[in-house]
Amino acid sequence: MTSHPLAPKKPHPITQHGQTRVDNYFWLRERDNPQTMEYLRAEDDYLQEMTGHTLPLQAALFEEMKARIKEDDTSAPEKVDDYYYYTRTEQGKQYPLFCRKHTSLDAPEEILLDQNALAEGRAFCRVGAFVVSPDHSKLAYSLDEDGSEKCVLYVKDLLENRLLEEKIQNTYGDVYDHSGIAWANDNQTIYYVTLDPSQRPDKLYRHRLGDDPASDPLLYHEADEQYFLFVTKSRSRAYILAWSHSYTADEWRILPADQPDADFQVFHPRQRGLEYSLEHHGGYFFVRTNLDAVNFRLMKTPVGATALENWQEVVPHRADTLLEDMQAFENHLVLYERRDGLRQIRLSDADATSRARYVQFPEPVYTYYQAANPEFAVKTLRFHYTSLVTPKSVIDFDMEKDEWRVVKQDEIPSGYDPALFTCERQLATAPDGTRVPISLLYKRGVQRDGSNPTLLHGYGSYGMSVEPAFNASRLSLVERGFVFAIAHIRGGSEMGRAWYEDGKMLNKRNTFTDFIACAEHLIAEKYTCTPKLAIMGRSAGGLLVGAALTMRPDLFGVAVADVPFVDVINTMSDPTIPLTTMEYDQWGNPDNREYFDYMMSYSPYDNLRAADYPHILIGAGLNDPRVAYWEPAKFVAKLRELKTNDSLLVLKTNFDAGHAGASGRYDYLKEVAFEYAFLIDMLQS
C-alpha cells in the first residue's frame, strides 16, 4: 500500500428539525456488508505500514512495562467468615486465578476459578459477576467471551469442584466490580438480571439451583428505557437489593434475604430529580440522597417505614463537600467524600455523628479506591491508597485505634524511586473565569522551557472524576522526559456535584473549553509547546479529544482517541443503540430542537471541516456495545476526506474485543506500548 485507504462515499441524507445533512459514511454501520470489513482491514493494513518502524520501540516499551509488574503475584487476602479469598497471577499467564484458603493463610490453597483455562481458544475472556454463596459452598460467576458485555452465568459446586447444570445466557455482569448476581441466604436461590435487545439490563429473575432457567420467575421488568436495573446484596447480608437507576432518579426494592419467596417491596417510588442509595444497619437504612442537597446528604429511616416522610437527617448537606458513597459496619459508619478536588474518608460510630473524624493521608495530592469490605462485624476498614508517585497500597485502617497499616504495596521489580519524580497541581482559567485543576507528573529536573513532550489526559463526563493515581506503565513516558497532565475538567465531580452539572446537557461545551484552557495553560507556563503537546481520552474522553480537535486543531501536535463517542447526533437519535435512551439525561434528546442545535454545535463528526490537523490515532473495538465501532471508523473516513495537511491519521481496530480493549494483561500492555510508541515517535521525532 502506497497511500491511505479512502472509504467510498455513499450519500445518506438525514433530516431533523427541517435540516438535511448528508452522511457519506453512514453505510459503515452495516457490519454484515463485506465492504465494511474490507475497509476496516484496509485501515488496519495502513496502520501497520505506517507504524511498522516503531515495532522495535513497541517491543522495548512492552518489556519495560512487563518488568514493572510482579508477574507471580498474590493480592492481599480478603477475609470472609472463615475463608481468605484472593487472586494470584503466574508468570507468562494472561489471567488471574481466583483462590481461597480455609481458616488460615497457611492452609492448603483451593483454586475456585482459573481464568486462563476458561480463556483457552478464545481471543477475549472477562469474568463478569463473581459471587460466592453465603455458606461458601458454591460460586456463581459469569463470562463475557467476546467483549460484547453479554455474559453467560454459571454455578460451580466448590465442595465437589464441578460445574452444575446451570447455564443462563444474556445476563448482566458488571465490567468493573463483578456485581450482577445476589444469593439468598438459603444458598439455593440466585437473583440475576438479563439484557434487552439494546443491552440494557431490564429484567430481574429468581433461579433455584436445579430448576430449568426457562421456568425462572420474572420478578420485575424495568420498562422505562431511561433506567438500568441492577441487583446486589446488602453488606449486612440481611437484604437483597434491586434498584432502577437513571441519571436523574433512583428507585430501590428490598427483599429479606432469609425469605427468598417473598415479594420485593419498593423502598420509595421514583421521583424525577430524586437520587438516593441505601445501606442497611440494624433496624434502619441509611439513605444517601440529593433531596434538597446538591452535594448529597445522609438520612436514615426505620426498616419498616421507608417512605420519604420518614427519612431523618443525620449528616446535613455541605456546600464544600460531596458525599459520594457510604459503608456501614456493626459499630462504625464510613462516608466517602470529596472536598477541594481530593477524596476524603469520614469515620464515625454507627450513629453517623459520634466521634466523627477524617483519615489523614500522607501526601498533598493523592487518591484512594474503596474496597468491598464484605464483613460487617469488624473494626477494620480496607481501602486502596495511591498517588501519581506512590504505587497502589492496600490499607487496613483500625477504626477504633485510628491506626493505618499497609498490608501490601504493588512492587516494581525493575526498580522505582519515587524521589526521582515530582507531582504538583496547577490551575488553568476557563473562558468564563472558572479555575480548573491540573494534576502534573514529571521527572525531577525537567526544565520549564517549552520544549517538553507532554501528554494531557481528560474525561469530563457522567460525574466520573479522573483520579491522580499511580500507573507503572506511564513511567515509560515520564522517564523519557514527558510531562503527564490530568485536566480535572467540568463534567466530572472533582470539585463537587455542581462541577458535574456544569459539564453536561446544555453546559456540555464547558467540558471542552476547560480542556482547551488546560492545554493553553501548559503552553503559557512553558511546560510544553503546540508541536510537543499530545492529548488523549477514551470513550466520552474520546468525545473530549474529538471536540477539542474540531474546535482547536491548531493547538495540538498529537491526539489519541480510544473508542471515541464522536458521532453524537446520529447515536443519540437512534434508541436501538445500547445506552442511548438512558443517556438523554447526559447529553439531551435530539428530538428536542434546543438540544439538537446545542449538540450539533460540538458533535465532532458533524463539526469536522477542511483544516490542518495534528497526528491522530483513533481506536475502535469491533464488539463494543458502548461506542459502536462505526463511530471511530466514520470519524476517520470523514477526516481523511477533509484534512488539508499530510499529518498521520490511523485507525486501530481491535477485531476481538469491545469497549475495554484486550482482556489479557500482556495483550493489554501491548496495546499501551503501541499507543506510547506512537506518541514518542510523533513527539520526539
What's the sign of the alpha-carbon dihedral 383, 385, 391, 395? negative
**What single string gives the DSSP state of each residue in 329-389?**
-SSEEEEEEEETTEEEEEEEETTSSTT-EEPPPSSSS-EEEE-----SS-SEEEEEEE-SS
| Helix (H) or strand (E) run with residue 682 in it | helix 665-684
* Sign of the torsion angle spanned by Cα atoms 618, 624, 630, 635: negative
Residue 551 grid coordinates: 474546535
As given in the structure block, the three cell numbers for residue 330 are 456493626
DSSP sequence for 26-45: GGGG-TT-HHHHHHHHHHHH
Q: DSSP character for 453? A: -
Q: How many CA atoms lie within 13 Å of 679's alpha carbon, on the beta-carbon side?
A: 31
Backbone φ and ψ of 58, nearest 5°: -60, -45
Q: Are 130 and 175 in contact (CB under 8 A)?
A: no
Among 542, 462, 459, 540, CA closest to 501: 462
Beta strands 218-221 and 97-102, pairing class: unpaired
Q: Is the separation of the CB atoms in 175 and 230 below 8 Å?
A: no
Residues designated catalytic: 539, 624, 659
How remote is the C-alpha of 660 from its chain's centroid?
Answer: 9
Phi then psi for 168, rounded to 5 degrees? -115, 120
